[in-house]
A = this chain, B = another copy of it.
């Protein structure tokens, strides 16, 4: 029972089946130019009957237009990125543009490779996460001659356009809020940050805010891999054993924060009196936990939307000036784990 590996149909097949020239068939199928209703009917019928699917490879080569937008992100399992994708999708849905996703696994070399692959398809625009890229990547982006939007982070200089939040500032503001709420013995937990620039920047902003208040991070711990929730438990248990006098824990993401929260509640800690907690991201998931973790929205959906809008605007009219740098302002959600002022 082998399937019929038959030659794919071409415009010519539809042309012959309908008795209309290839050119007119092409016009009908693309809704371009005036075609009489009679011919249109004939063509559509023939195309459907044959099951013709146009060949965009040929079409794109001929028209020098490719309605693809390359979206390059570090990971799909990080929750954050699917949400950014949702924002992008919503905007592109109303346009002829189609997103195509590439994954870098947070590896600069892989980013370079993926970018090269993507560019070889001559997309209409590129959206990529982060502002730190290899020299080769930057060169490719610049040479591509297409709109490029770097997203998530605005602490840096974009090749072209940029949409995101300042993670340094996000960390700083959370640090300030914590200090203002009266906490003094503060621990930090997060991913190993060698390649996670945004986590690093949040940490930098955070320590800076503490420093201004004359406080140092009392304890810290970094992890990699594994289920974030249980990591949060483990790290928290270990840190509280080591530094039982801590009165606040700042987590680099909500999931490990949630794990810590669950553990502390089980141990009978008084939250947020005895100890306060905060995470980062504002993930939806938190809404089902026993307490709402204090966090900061990363504006994921809006970042996706704004980035896509820039691509759309530039694609429609490459000349018109559009905002090049969009800095969104995340707000602190105090939840139930950050003492009220």
Residues of A within 8 A of B (CB): 2-6, 8, 51, 53-58, 60-61, 66, 76-77, 79, 82-83, 85-86, 89, 98, 100-101, 103, 116-117, 119-122, 139-140, 142-145, 160, 227-233, 255, 258-259, 262, 266, 284-290, 318-319
Contact = CB atoms under 8 A, between A and B. Distances in A.
Majority-rule SS of A interface residues: helix
B61 A230 contact: no
A3 B160 contact: yes
A57 B55 contact: no
A51 B140 contact: yes
Contact of A266 (B8, B122, B290): B290
Contacts of A145: 3-6, 8
Contact of A319 (B2, B53, B289): B2
A285 B121 contact: no
Nearest to A100: B100
Contacts of A285: 227-229, 255
A111 to B, nearest CB: 15
A120 B66 CA distance: 12
A193 B154 CA distance: 42
A254 to B, nearest CB: 12
B288 A229 contact: yes
A135 B275 CA distance: 59
B103 A89 contact: yes
A255 B58 CA distance: 45
Nearest to A48: B136
Contact of A289 (B53, B117, B262): B262
- Identify which of A57, A143, A259 gathers the most chain B CB atoms within 10 Å of its CB: A57
A76 B66 contact: no
B51 A230 contact: no
Contacts of A76: 76, 82, 85-86
A287 B54 CA distance: 48
Contact of A318 (B5, B53, B58, B86): B5
A63 to B, nearest CB: 10
Contacts of A57: 57, 60-61, 66, 121-122
26 contacts: A3-B160, A5-B318, A8-B144, A8-B145, A51-B143, A53-B119, A53-B120, A53-B144, A55-B120, A57-B60, A57-B61, A57-B121, A76-B82, A77-B83, A100-B100, A100-B101, A101-B101, A227-B284, A228-B288, A229-B285, A229-B287, A229-B289, A233-B288, A262-B288, A262-B290, A266-B290
A4 B255 CA distance: 43
Given A8-B122, A76-B82, A100-B101, 16 more contacts: A3-B142, A5-B318, A8-B144, A51-B143, A53-B144, A55-B120, A56-B120, A77-B82, A77-B83, A98-B117, A227-B287, A229-B286, A230-B287, A230-B288, A233-B288, A262-B288
